[in-house]
Structure 1
């Protein structure tokens, strides 16, 4: 596997929800790739590398406030900036 070190360090925990304290629009605009248990995931709503978990969206299902329904899964998590792969 390629090493995920990049010029911009990714935070240990990040969320795609703007209401979350772990939301970072600047980094998300660059594109963040997540590999969970060796498989690249595209439906990650939130992750924490040090605690080893991801929160995955369950399809198009939403709660009564319009937030996606999610499931928490534990395992090894890797994150990288997608644009850094081609540099």
Structure 2
């Protein structure tokens, strides 16, 4: 019973970048949503609930390797499964 309750809570730290140590394909396949400061965000690249930050992608900027640039924003982070 307690195992089912744990699977309904998204992890504390998650990234969509496969090169990251916090990447989890199993969790991402469940469609994780992020509510940041009360507003649902769709461009979140990485988040950390304990430290209260998200990294969001800047739509037009790319780094020298062609990856999207990200900006770190601080606030209240609430992950949820859709």
Match of 1:36 in 2: 36
Partner Cα distance (2:36, 2:15) in 1: 15
2:53 counterpart residue number: 53
For this pair of structures, how many residues does the alignment match?
77
Report how far residue 63 of structure 1 moved: 0.7
Moved over 3 A (4+): none
After superposition, residues 1-87 of structure 1 pair within 5 angstroms as 8=7, 9-82=9-82
Q: Structure 1-normalised TM-score?
A: 0.83
Q: CA RMSD in A?
A: 1.2
Single out whichever of 43-52 and 56-65 deviates more from structure 2.
56-65
User: TM (normalized to structure 2)?
Assistant: 0.87
CA-CA distance at 1:7 after TM superposition: 5.3
Residue 11 (structure 1) shift: 1.2
| Cα distance between partner residues in 2 of 1:18 and 1:61 | 20
Runs of 5+ in structure 1 lacking a partner? 1-5, 83-87
The separation in 1 between residues aligned to 2:49 and 2:40, in whole angstroms, is: 14
